[in-house]
Amino acid sequence: MAINSKTPIIIAGPCSAESYEQVIATAKALSECTKITAFRSGVWKPRSRPGTFEGAGDVALQWLKEVKAKYNFPIAIEVATPEHVETALKNDIDILWIGARTTSNPFSVQELASALKGANCQVMVKNPVNPDLELWIGAIERVMKAGCMDVTAIHRGFYPYEQTPYRNIPKWEIPIELKTRFPEIPIICDPSHIAGERALVAEVSQYALNLNFDGLIIESHIDPDKALSDARQQLTPENLIKLLRSLEFRTDQEEVSISQLENLRHQIDSIDSQILELLSQRMNATMKIGRYKSKHNIAAFQLKRWKNIIRSRIETGSTLGLDPEFVKKMLQSVHKESIRVQNEVMKKSKH
């Protein structure tokens, strides 16, 4: 699949190939949209726990062959083992992607890279589960060293260890840094996995396009509510087509690369959002402490604890290159709000 700067890459299709009827019906409906450049579907599904649907397996490759023949879609599937690569190539699959779990393991990536030597196909590499840019770059480099130079990166967000509006935290600063260091490598966004909910897919898609991503890979199912995997984040073909029509793609006149300054600003926006989420979590913990102190008749302000916080945080901040006076002022502001929150909790506990 050639990268066309005037036509953003749009890859669409179901999370999993579940049945012949489901695959063909989805592909037929998506073929009505000229913006879609390739059809995706999971053949072998690496699931977190056994006993859930793990893909139809090799038989699904025959269904995808028919999609390719009928609707002229290049076909994209995930591969996780050298055997997957061999089987996919024998069945003329055009695009192979390496999933987030696989990218997280350099040994697995190297096995796939070795199996890909001499292959004439495009390879896409998803970011690892955790926000480790070097691990992502390493996976891309292993694939390229195997001779596969047609490589695209997929940004699908990172596993959140706290509650967020999204299934995966975008951490946009990481793909921006990847693009800064490797401007020649196309990056597309997977808004389905970042959003986790179909209602949020549009806003994530537009944000990625605003950051000058090279395209999108979006999950679409003919009947999403009956999907055997990731039902909540899949769109019907009809709704996907509506979404694509609503998105603002860059025109030729706007085809100016986002400046380094804008990239840095977007990084700051993303980091600020994470700081605010963490502050919210800190205040939630503060409320719990307030309730405990009220129950056990403990004062809101504890001098020994406060001195320890100041000392330890300034030490940590110094190792991170932060000015001690800045850290102290920031902590004083946060602590002031924490005391206010605890006092409010204690007042309510008395009533």
What is the model's pLDDT at position 294? 84
What is the model's pLDDT at position 206? 94
What is the model's pLDDT at position 69? 96
What is the model's pLDDT at position 222? 95
DSSP lists the bridge partners of residue 40 as 76
Q: Determine the Cα–Cα distance for residues 281 and 201; give it in Å rounded to an integer.
A: 25
What is the model's pLDDT at position 4? 45
CB under 8 A, 24+ apart: contacts of 268-273: 269/172, 270/170, 270/171, 270/172, 270/173, 271/173
Tell me the CATH number of domain 260-350, given options 3.30.420.40, 3.90.800.10, 1.20.59.10, 3.40.50.2020.
1.20.59.10
**Matching residue, tokens 């053949």:** 43
Per-residue model confidence as pLDDT tens digits over 223-276: 999 989 888 899 999 999 999 999 998 654 444 555 677 778 888 999 999 999
Task: Please choose, from the candidates 240, 250, 246, the residue with its C-alpha nearest in 3D space to the C-alpha of residue 33.
Answer: 240
HEC profile of 239-261: HHHHHHHHCCCCCHHHCCCCCHH
9-253 adopts what CATH topology? TIM Barrel (3.20.20)
What is the model's pLDDT at position 344? 87
Q: Per-domain residue ranges for the chain?
A: 9-253, 260-350
Residues of the chain with pLDDT under 70: 1-7, 46-55, 250-259, 350-351
What is the model's pLDDT at position 48? 52
Q: What is the pTM of this model?
A: 0.74
What is the model's pLDDT at position 160? 86
What is the model's pLDDT at position 19? 94
Q: Determine the Cα–Cα distance for residues 320 and 312; give it in Å rounded to an integer.
A: 13
What is the model's pLDDT at position 302? 83
The answer for residues whose C-beta is within 8 angstroms of residue 313's C-beta and 6 or more apart is: 327, 331
